[in-house]
Homo-oligomer: A and B are copies of this chain.
């Protein structure tokens, strides 16, 4: 089995910093998780170049579409799900609205609220972008056999459940 960057990282670590003892497996795990996440982000970004969407615009539309009430949400809920501040969402929605991909409607019953709604154009561009993103992910996953993929997911689920007990949500 050839070495990846995380292996090299750990080896180099040991060479130079023998006085600081870390668990190699744990260190390698975090390096790999971080690197893979970065890879996914970059792959997505590359895929999105073919659309009219910027990275954060896709994320926002995506969060809006995959909710329990697809295509409808309050700014606050989106902010929480996307892990950005309320102020940040306002900015993103300004941009999306200007491009005609979402509309802001005043809340019917409670007029403090705002209902964000995708437009037809918004839904269309989202679908296109999503399928491009999908192929990038499939490409990565193709490195594993089906059995390996299932095993990997099982282990990651265990890790995720542990992490979720203390920290941060969102899908």
Contacts and interface: CB of A to CB of B under 8 A. Distances in A.
Interface of A: 1-2, 4-9, 12-13, 16-17, 20, 22-23, 25-43, 66, 68, 70, 83, 127, 130-131, 134, 137-138, 140-144, 146, 148-164, 167-171
Contacts of A140: 30, 159, 162-163
**9 tightest A-B CB contacts, nearest first:** A37-B37, A143-B162, A9-B171, A32-B156, A4-B160, A26-B141, A39-B163, A152-B155, A5-B171
Given A26-B141, A34-B37, A152-B159, 10 more contacts: A4-B161, A5-B171, A17-B66, A17-B70, A34-B41, A36-B163, A37-B37, A38-B170, A140-B159, A141-B159
